[in-house]
Amino acid sequence: MHPVYTEIKQALSGFYPETEAAAMARWILTDLFHFGTLDLYAGKDTDFPTDERARLNNILTRLKSYEPLQYIIGETRFSGLPFEVTPSVLIPRPETEELVSWIVEDHPDVPVRILDIGTGSGCIPVSLAHRLPLSTVHAWDVSPEALEVARRNAIRNGVTVHFQQVDALQESWPSLNIDVLVSNPPYITEKERTDMERNVLDWEPELALFVPDNDPLLFYRHIARIGLDLLSPSGTLYYEINRAYGAETVSLLQQLGYHSVELRKDLSGNDRMVKAVKP
The CATH number for 129's domain is 3.40.50.150
Both 33 and 169 in one domain: the answer is no
The verdict on whether residue 50 carries a ligand-binding annotation is: no
In a domain, 160, yes or no: yes
* Per-residue pLDDT at 198: 82
Distance spanning both ends of the chain, measured CA to CA: 59
141 is in an annotated binding site: yes
For the chain, how many structural domains are there in total? 2
Phi, psi of 20 (to 5 degrees): -70, -40
Helix orientation angle between 218-230 and 246-255, rounded to the nearest 10 degrees: 40
DSSP letter string, 174-203: ----EEEEEE----EEGGGGGGS-HHHHTT
pLDDT at 162: 98
Together in a domain, 127 and 251: yes
Together in a domain, 139 and 251 = yes
Residue 115 sits in the same domain as residue 235: yes
Is 269 marked as a binding-site residue? Answer: no
- 212 falls within a domain: yes
- Tell whether 110 and 246 lie within a shared domain: yes
Asked if residue 168 is part of any domain, the answer here is: yes
Q: Is residue 207 part of a domain?
A: yes
Q: Which helix (H) or strand (E) holds 116?
A: strand 113-117
| 203 falls within a domain | yes
Residues of the chain with pLDDT under 70: 43-49
Question: 272 and 144 share a domain?
Answer: yes
Residue 191 within any structural domain of the chain: yes
Q: Indicate if 191 and 96 belong to the same structural domain.
A: yes
Are 181 and 226 in contact, with CB atoms under 8 Å apart?
Answer: yes
Q: Are residues 156 and 218 in the same domain?
A: yes
Query: Annotation-wise, does 87 bind a ligand?
Result: no
For residue 184, say whether it is annotated as part of any ligand binding site: yes
Judged by DSSP in three states, 207 sits in helix
* Residue 158 is labelled as binding a ligand: no
The residue out of 27, 43, 65 marking a domain boundary is: 65
The pTM (predicted TM-score) of the whole model is 0.92
Of 65, 94, 109, which closes a domain? 65
**Structural domain containing residue 232:** 75-277
For residue 25, give the nearest of 63, 81, 52 by alpha carbon. 63
Q: Are 264 and 272 in contact (CB under 8 A)?
A: yes
Residue 171 forms part of a structural domain: yes
Answer yes or no: do 105 and 221 share one domain. Answer: yes
Tell whether 234 is in a known binding site.
no
pLDDT of 33 reads 87
Q: How many CB atoms lie within 10 A of CB 276?
A: 27
Same domain assignment for residues 126 and 250: yes
Residues 120 and 227 in one domain: yes
Is 202 labeled as ligand-binding?
A: no
Is 236 in a helix, a strand, or coil?
strand
- List all residues 6 or more positions away from 261 whose beta carbon is below 8 Å from its beta carbon: 250, 253, 254, 274, 275, 276, 277
Give the domain-ending residue among 65, 83, 106.
Answer: 65
Residues 163 and 47 in one domain: no
| Alpha carbons 133 and 111: distance in angstroms, whole number | 8
137 within a domain of the structure (yes/no): yes
